[in-house]
Structure 1
Amino acid sequence: MSEVADSDGRSDPASRPDVLGRDMRRPWSALEALRPLTLRSCRRIVVVAPHPRDEIRAAGGLLRRLGSRHAEVDVLSLTERPTWSCPPVTDAAPDGRLTDATDLTDVPAFTLDDLVAGALDDDVSDDEVDAEPEADPDEVAAEAAYRALGLSVVRRHRLGLPDGGVAQAESDVVAAISEIVGFSDDPGGLCVLAPWSGDGDDDHEAAGRAAEVVTAAYRVRLVRWLDRAWTWAGPDSAEVPWRRARQVLLTDTVIARKHAASAAFLSAAGGAGRTAHDAELPDGWAPGPREVFLV
């Protein structure tokens, strides 16, 4: 099958008709011989997650295993789930101009004297004053997912970048990872988990590059996950450094927990947690009952 290579030599997934159309099963049996990933010395893991739910999809089994060993888990979420808070709808005036939906012609004007005299009454009820702040849907969704996965304590850090904007803020990502990693009082027991910098998604690759910079500077172990790569690569793909690949075999129980965590996230997010990056992989493109990492 002919493939079109991009500027850095990696074939372009969009040029592969079997990716777009057919369900061609990869020979995942070739991955059965991968050596197991052992992180026995990892007492704290810092996860760099480009998008909500990425870390659960790609590494939920590994996180579950480390959590069962009482390793501390920090998750740095780089982007926020897309929100659709739009400005008020505007109406067209007879002459074709757009006008604000709120008519301000009848709003009374107040002078400084009016304000000092207390002429404005905000009419805030006691119930509004005492009301609890509305829960952040991202936090609710993440908490539900981690609970389903079996992680009782996860420290969450949020950078708040727009979806698709990680590469434009790569230096900020480096700084954010450094702030978490650099103040560790147990660097020997610290690991960083991030996407592979060749994964095939712009946000994933930028996050992976940032993690590489920080872990090299602080001499911390880096473990890279594969996610979008499964839609364009297989065990026969020369683009993936398979000699560095390790696997975590998943039991039926852990697989069920991953599915439950994924469903809990989407349910708690009201269905708004799913993004284009987050689409489930087609049948036959996941690497079987295992998670694969590059070390």
Structure 2
Amino acid sequence: MADPGDLSGRIPAPQGARPPWRELEGLRPLTLRACRRLIVVAPHPRDEIRAAGGLLRRLAARHASVDVLALTDGPGRTCTPPEGIAVPDPGDLGADLVVRPDDLGDPDTLDSVLARLDGIAPEDGDGEEPAGDGGSDPEEIALADAYRALGVAEVHRHRLGLPDAGLSRCEADVVGALSEIVGFVEDPHGLCVLAPWSGDGDDDHEAAGRAAEIVCAAYRVRLVRWLDQAWSWAGPESAEVPWRRARQLALSETVQARKLAASAAFGGRPGRDRELPDGSAPGPREVFLV
């Protein structure tokens, strides 16, 4: 079996080439019906929104509480669509609201987009109230705006402030912090931890993933892993990725647009921070390993 931490045999996809992600359309759906509390291990700001914004929205709509353990305050990637995403406007059946990266760079346009999205008929709990004020910290304000864009009412954040690109030296700190949260949960059967896959190819992601595996094994808690950097080197036939454990969450156009708006809340054009060669995650879905 290939060592998931060994990147020597991984060949990145050629620039401009799009792997045949359509082969993943037949993945079984991700079901977390018993999840009443989700703890997210996020190596960088907005990582969880990029990789699992749709899942966060769905669970929050089911009234599951969401905790985010923010490991660093360092840079993170944003969602990058290949084209604009059309969102139906219920007030005008003959017109679509088209959300494009350039549009979302303008705060006024972003507010207009969110107002239109909030007017769309409820879907998976679209009637959620927006997240609260993030305080005076610009990063926290951006995160509050991002979750408001997703339609997630409340997120409890725990900031560790560990060094960006240095989590491999701080894995014990991550294990300790996550253990403190998981260990005090009254109902562990309704708990789920969401973290990066430990074979992702990004040092910080892999360190966070290993720490989550240790804690979840110790407390016998369900762990769900997301892929991020792996999309730049892995394909559906990559032996390094345990595709047999992969599950998908299909995203409506409305949810896709909300994820773009959430990324735009951090300012700048989406996708310019450490953009992957193939853009964002594959198609109108989020993919997880269970």
TM-score normalized by the length of structure 2: 0.74
Give the drift of 1:284: 6.1
1:48 touches 1:75 (CA, 8 Å); kept in 2?
Answer: yes
Aligned position for 1:69: 62
CA distance in 1, matches of 2:210, 2:46: 20
How many residue pairs end up in the alignment?
A: 230
Q: How does 1:101-120 map to 2 (within 5 A)?
A: none
2:260 touches 2:270 (CA, 8 Å); kept in 1?
Answer: no
Amino acid at match of 2:274: A
Give the drift of 1:280: 3.2
| Aligned: 1:280 with 2:281 | no
Give the drift of 1:11: 4.1
CA distance in 2, matches of 1:8, 1:223: 18
Aligned position for 1:165: 166
Aligned position for 1:46: 39
**Shift in alpha-carbon separation, 1:47–1:209, aligned structure 2, 3 A:** same
**Shift in alpha-carbon separation, 1:168–1:40, aligned structure 2, 3 A:** same
Give the drift of 1:164: 0.7
Q: CA offsets per residue over residues 31-56 of structure 1, 9 Å max, x none?
A: 01100000000000000000011000
Give the drift of 1:288: 0.9
CA distance in 2, matches of 1:279, 1:169: 23
Aligned position for 1:116: none
Q: How does 1:1-295 map to 2 (within 5 A)?
A: 9-13=6-10, 16=12, 18-19=13-14, 22-81=15-74, 135-264=136-265, 266-267=266-267, 271=268, 278-283=273-278, 286-295=281-290
TM-score normalized by the length of structure 1: 0.73
**Shift in alpha-carbon separation, 1:221–1:45, aligned structure 2, 3 A:** same
Task: Give 5+ residue unaligned stretches, structure 1.
Answer: 83-133
1:25 touches 1:284 (CA, 8 Å); kept in 2?
Answer: no
Give the drift of 1:282: 3.7
Amino acid at match of 1:144: D
2:53 touches 2:150 (CA, 8 Å); kept in 1?
Answer: yes
Identity %: 71
- Cα RMSD after superposing both structures: 2.3
CA distance in 2, matches of 1:11, 1:289: 30
Give the drift of 1:10: 4.1
CA distance in 2, matches of 1:7, 1:34: 22
Amino acid at match of 1:225: W
**Shift in alpha-carbon separation, 1:152–1:285, aligned structure 2, 3 A:** closer
Give the drift of 1:178: 0.4
Larger radius of gyration: 1
SS state at 2:170 partner: helix
Amino acid at match of 1:74: D
Amino acid at match of 2:254: T
SS state at 1:47 partner: strand
Q: CA offsets per residue over residues 146-185 of structure 1, 9 Å max, x none?
A: 1101111000000001111111010000000001110001
Amino acid at match of 2:39: V
1:250 touches 1:291 (CA, 8 Å); kept in 2?
Answer: yes
Q: CA offsets per residue over residues 74-119 of structure 1, 9 Å max, x none?
A: 000000136xxxxxxxxxxxxxxxxxxxxxxxxxxxxxxxxxxxxx
Give the drift of 1:6: 8.7
Aligned position for 1:128: none
2:263 touches 2:270 (CA, 8 Å); kept in 1?
Answer: no
1:25 touches 1:285 (CA, 8 Å); kept in 2?
Answer: no
Give the drift of 1:236: 1.2
CA distance in 2, matches of 1:279, 1:254: 23
CA distance in 2, matches of 1:285, 1:263: 14
CA distance in 2, matches of 1:214, 1:181: 8
CA distance in 2, matches of 1:153, 1:7: 35
CA distance in 2, matches of 1:212, 1:71: 22
